[in-house]
Amino acid sequence: MKNTVRAIILFSMLLDRYVLREILPPALVGFLVFTFALLMNTLLEFIQMLVMRGISPAELFSLLWQISLSFLPITLPMSLMMGVLSGISRMSADYEILALRTLAVPTTRLLRPVFVLGVFALLLNLWANLFVAPEATKAAEKQLFELMLSRTEKMIRAKEFFEGIPGMVVFVKEKGRGMWKGIFIEKYENGVEKFILAREGRFVVDRRRREAFFILRDGEVHSFDTSKPEKYSRGFFKEAMEIIPKEVAFPEIKLGRRPREKTYPQLVYSIKTAPVPALKNLYLMELHSRLALAVSTLLFLLLGFSLAVNVRRGGTGYGFALSIIVVVLYFTVHSGAKSFVEQGKVPAWAGMWFSDLLVLLFVLLLIPRLKGSIRPARRRAKIARKAFGVSLRLPRLFSTLDTYGFFQALKVFVMILFSLIFLSLLVSFFQLIDDVFQNKVPLKVLFNYLLYFSPQLTYTLLPLSLLISLMVTISLFYKRGEITAIKAGGISLHRFSLPFLLLAVAVLASSFYLQEKILPFSNKKAESLRAFIKGRKDAGEYVISRNWVFSNNTVFHFLYYEKKRKAFVDIYLMELSPEFSLKRIMHAKKAFWRRNYWLLRSVWMRDFSKQGKFLQADRERVRMPPPEYFFRELKGFEEMNLRELKKHIDTLRREGFPTREMEVEFQARLSFPFVNLVMALLAVALGFLIGEKGPTIGVGSGLALGGVYWTLQGAFKALGKSFILPPILAGWSPTIIFFLISLIIFTYVRS
């Protein structure tokens, strides 16, 4: 009797461990996938900051860590649901659940480890929602704000006017490792204009002491009251220090005011002390939303289990796709209920718990069905035409095996691509939903924005989807023994990779078509809708303007430009000597363009080469660049195809506008479609090497390689924009590096 009891207990423990081992690995992969998807856009921006603004790798890692922690309330339930769907569906598809039933083990017995895991995850998510995520959000925003300010030295570029310091404009003629040459600083405060010119100097930031200042040598200071320009002051210095006020350089950042930045005790206190009912309702909504998200972790696990036990096909891909669909539906309902709460139509608790109640209802409806019959999976693989529901076949040049491999890979590719697109749209949805409610924008506008934003997401995610899908497809072929059968039939793996490369070429062509035909229109429409959601005016075709211009040792500055009258308002002309001292200053209330000269009205001037006397005139003719030199109308480069962008770069370069960023972007866009082919080569090579380890390893490897590529892309683009690398090298280097790596790996494949 004792032995029987021990055997039952041992079997029970082994079963629980086995179920958890099936759930946790795909859950971990899902956690990495979802976190990477949420961080993808942020990662590119931070990599460029790392190169262009001198942020250290440790600071970059700290920022990414804090942001990842703020995503925990979303990524934790999504990844665990993916783990349950992948693990349990795989057991169902491989007859294991059916085998357990033949041993008189009911399907509901498998719920025990799932439920225990769900309770533990619920508590973990509750802690993350109430304490970790708010603190991480505040820490990330504070760190990012301080880093942006303290890296001003890297952001100041030679021969460009920098307005990143509040209340100050800075120009540097030559910037080297030591002292900078030719420094111009403008400050305006309380009606007093101040110009500082120095032959050399540099900018210093001390984050520990919270100090920022310019060290200047051999210069002069000009200041005057703009309402009384005849009262003019001019002074000289051998060495001076221009200190930036601490409250400007390192302002006190008032974080924690928004509901999502408050921890649980702070939320409770805010609810008790809210001065108006509307504000109290807002805090109550945030509290109930966090509690509901924590409980959803357990509900997602139970729902995933209920959906997975009766599937015919299972595995990581099934779990990934279905978890995306469920989570998108959940958060769509959750956000819709939030709008009703903000409008005061329903109480906070009812609105925030509504989506959880719906999930619970589905769970209660599905769990009783677990006692019914279980449909085993068909172990024999279906041919491609049945999988797609129509009779599809490649041309006769290709064999039946090519057709089978092509459509199997295509099926997995489409599933992964749409899953990643839905996940990215979900992220964009939550980034903009607060603006929708705040600016009282109809939800229809948000969904239209997501529709027009989808082509850009598709274009961006094509290489990553192709990489992961091909690795997963090859892993599945290994799992079903098909690679062994191919080798036994005397077919080289190099030959078998042909349909995969054919798929890559098709994706490459689709990428070019999207880039040249679809994205210019869809990006313009998406940007217009995003501006409306954000409460901004639609830029449309905007004016690229330079209110500060340096040309032929002359500084031009104007307040604004009247396009219809071709007139500048409140314009300064400052002529400088080769030693970077002020030779002459001229100001006009208005300046009108007259074919080949400018007519200045209400003019005052001082010529310091002639004793610097104050002179006035009603009008004055001057020679200076035409209006096109200062501005021109154009579309954003995201709204142009490659030919338009190239033509636009050439035009701006002739007119003296900075074009470096656009040149790098042009080369990066030209190379990006070819990444699809390179990723396919890499996926095929790695798939044949490590495919035996299973689809989960394929997803993880593809994700890691995608992260490396996007990191390299961001780094090389930043190096190009920082004038460290030429644009063509900055745009093509990541693609070339991955191509060489794939060729090297291919040499190790035993065909």
pLDDT confidence bin for 126, thresholds 50/70/90:
very high
Residue 387, Cβ neighbours under 10 Å: how many? 15
Q: What are the structure tokens assigned to 477, written together?
A: 């072929």
Per-residue pLDDT tens over the stretch 235-276: 999 999 888 876 655 555 444 456 777 888 888 888 888 888
In this prediction, residue 381 carries a pLDDT of 38
67-91 tens-digit pLDDT: 888 888 888 988 888 888 888 887 8
Domain map of the chain by residue range?
166-243, 542-633, 640-746
pLDDT at 325 over 50: yes
Position 145 pLDDT exceeds 70: no
pLDDT of residue 656: 62
Q: What is the pLDDT of residues 343-364, one digit of tens each?
A: 778 888 888 899 999 999 988 8
| Cα-Cα-Cα-Cα dihedral sign, residues 264, 265, 266, 272 | positive
Beta pairing partners, 294: none
Spatial distance between the Cα atoms of 666 and 325, rounded to a whole number of angstroms: 36
Mean pLDDT of 648-661: 74
Tens digits of per-residue pLDDT, 506-535?
999 999 999 988 988 888 888 888 878 876
Q: Rounded CA gap, 709 and 468, in Å?
A: 13
pLDDT of residue 212 exceeding 70, the answer is yes
Strands (DSSP E) along 480-613, which ranges? 542-545, 548-551, 554-562, 567-576, 582-594, 597-607
- Tokens for 494, please give them: 């190099």
Residue found under tokens 């459509």? 407
Place of tokens 């903000």: 342
Least Cα distance to 375 among 114, 89, 110, 104 occurs for 89
Helix, strand or coil, per DSSP, at residue 342: helix
Task: Give the residue carrying structure tokens 């195809």.
Answer: 641
pLDDT of residue 311: 65
Nearest to 271 by CA among 260, 256, 255, 282: 282
Which range of 49-53, 125-129, 547-551 scores highest in mean pLDDT? It is 125-129
Q: Poorest-confidence range of 46-50, 207-211, 292-296, 342-346?
A: 46-50
- pLDDT mean over 438-448: 80
Answer with the residue of higher pLDDT: 5 or 325.
325
DSSP state of 541: S
User: How many Cβ atoms sit within 10 Å of the Cβ of residue 455?
Assistant: 20
Buried b (16+ CB within 10 A) or exposed e, 129-149: bbebbbbbbbbbbeebebbeb
Q: Is 382 a residue whose pLDDT tops 50?
A: no
Q: Given this model, what pLDDT does residue 247 score? A: 62
pLDDT at 249: 57
- Please report which confidence band the pLDDT of residue 3 belongs to, taking 50, 70 and 90 as the band edges: low
Long-range contacts of 737-741 (CB under 8 A, 24+ apart): 737/712, 738/675, 738/678, 738/679, 738/682, 738/709, 739/678, 739/681, 741/682
d(CA 424, CA 457): 7
Which one, of 136, 129, 128, lies nearest residue 67 by Cα? 136
Mean pLDDT over all residues of the chain?
79
Residue 337: C-alpha distances to residues 289, 352, 442, 447, 557 (Å): 10, 7, 14, 16, 51
To the nearest 10°, the Cα dihedral for 373, 374, 375, 381? -160
